[in-house]
Structure 1
Amino acid sequence: MSSLDFEQIIRRSLEIRRRYHQLEQKYHQSEWSVEEDALAFLTDAGLVGRLAMAQQQRWPKSDTDIQAELEHKLSENIWWLIVLADRMNIDIHKAMHEFLQRMETNLLK
């Protein structure tokens, strides 16, 4: 697999969300609201918690490939965060850079 830079990840994520909006229009005559996207993210974040527990043998789950499902859900959560940032007019690339700088600075004190 080739290495992706953050800009590519953002661009591809937003294109995928645009296509989902088309499906929402087709089947429900409206796009999901920001609130609905946030709820979908929170649902997937909860699933990451359950899958992490299953991976660590703290929650019984044997019906799927836990590792593959966990990889998918972790990636989906990153995707949702990019989508939510865009929909709320947040430059996630800039915000992430500033967050990392603050954290690094604070940890070096």
Structure 2
Amino acid sequence: MDLDELRRRALLVHDLYDELNRQEHGRVWTREEFMLGFMGDAGDLAKLVLAQEGARTSRPDAQAALEHELADCLWSVLILAHRYDIDLENAFVRTVDELGKSISARLE
């Protein structure tokens, strides 16, 4: 599956959340609320990574939970990029290229 397909599927769920939030709360989430949701997911991911590394108590479904939180974080990044009209693919390629050049220059 490529990034366009991931983005398309993420937006389908985004639209369902919008519909649910309109029905239950009379409004949709703001960009700030999506960011806060992402921060919560990132915190959950951090706890799972710590558990995987033995710094926290692990849980029986640790691998499945880690997969779920990584996917949640990816979903949030895709939605935030959409909400801020960011071409994530181009931004990623540009950023990774810049990092690669910067790191390579420091290694020389």
Q: Structure 2-normalised TM-score?
A: 0.90
Output the CA distance in 1 between the equivalents of 2:100 and 2:23: 45
Aligned residue in 1 for 2:55: 58
Output the CA distance in 1 between the equivalents of 2:17 and 2:77: 15
Q: Does 1:12 align with 2:9?
A: yes
Q: State the aligned residue count.
A: 105
Q: Does 1:24 align with 2:21?
A: yes
Aligned residue in 2 for 1:108: 104
- Kindly, what percent of the aligned residue pairs are identical? 30
Output the CA distance in 2 between the equivalents of 1:33 and 1:102: 31
How big is the alpha-carbon RMSD for the aligned residues of Structure 1 and Structure 2? 1.1
Output the CA distance in 1 between the equivalents of 2:71 and 2:9: 13
Deviation at 1:5, TM superposition (A): 0.9
Which runs of structure 1 show a deviation greater than 2 angstroms over 4 or more consecutive aligned residues?
A: none
Return 5+ residue gaps in structure 2 as ranges: none
Output the CA distance in 1 between the equivalents of 2:74 and 2:53: 22
Matches within 5 A, 1:78-97: 78-97=74-93
